[in-house]
Amino acid sequence: MEATIQQRSSTTGRILNSLLLIALVSHAMWLFGNVYEAIVDAPNLTASPAAARQCWLDYHSVTNPIFYHIPNTPIGFLTLIVAWWRGKKSLPPNAQKWLTWATLGSLGAVLLTVYVVTQINLRLYFGGPNPDNADVLDLANQWIVLNLLRIAFEVVTVVYLFRTYLTFYSSRIIRTDYV
């Protein structure tokens, strides 16, 4: 059996397709960046915390993780919000539900990020008086736990966004099967 394949092509469909794809790639980038930090950065701050923190600061003299996450993360979040808004009219009902879960996951990750940056990162990585071993260890442990929660939110977002994209892409395919 062979099939001729066409793609339903409308401006609305193409825009939503692009929005979903950008949001998916952006959130995957965010997720794997946070996973990288969870594995490679944070555990090293738990042994000789103050000395390790100083080594981290001395090493990152040119760039730091902000360069990786900005502007990607805000772009991904805003794109997802727009996709969710536009998808209310043109997505199948189950995909709408998944996209809502994805948006809520992303919102949770953004709120956690605001907290982590303002309450932990600014003290742990960016300036302020040098904290002692106990302070650094406490901040690092908080960061590790909250980052795991953030990763969980991002996994929810990426999984549901992926399902939404697959469903939307498949719904736009017109199959004409013949033997």
The residues binding another protein (CB under 8 A) are 1-3, 5, 28-29, 32-33, 35-36, 39-40, 43-44, 46-48, 51-52, 55-56, 58-65, 67-68, 166, 169-170, 173, 175, 177
Report the distance separating Cα 80 and Cα 84, nearest Å. Answer: 6
DSSP state of 130: P
- Determine the residue type at 5: I
Q: Which is nearer to another protein, 45 or 99 (CB)?
A: 45
Q: Which two tokens stand for residue 15?
A: 């825009």
> How far apart are CB 9 and another protein at their closest, in Å?
14
> How far apart are CB 110 and another protein at their closest, in Å?
19
Q: Which is nearer to another protein, 2 or 129 (CB)?
A: 2
Q: Which is nearer to another protein, 1 or 129 (CB)?
A: 1
Q: Which is nearer to another protein, 35 or 156 (CB)?
A: 35
> How far apart are CB 66 and another protein at their closest, in Å?
9
Closest CA to 15 of 86, 73, 107: 86
| Cβ contact 77:19 at 8 Å | no
> How far apart are CB 112 and another protein at their closest, in Å?
19
> How far apart are CB 39 and another protein at their closest, in Å?
5
- CA 26, 159, 170, 20 dihedral sign is negative
Q: Which is nearer to another protein, 68 or 101 (CB)?
A: 68
Distance of CA 71 to the CA centre of its chain: 12
Closest CA to 144 of 60, 65, 56, 44: 44
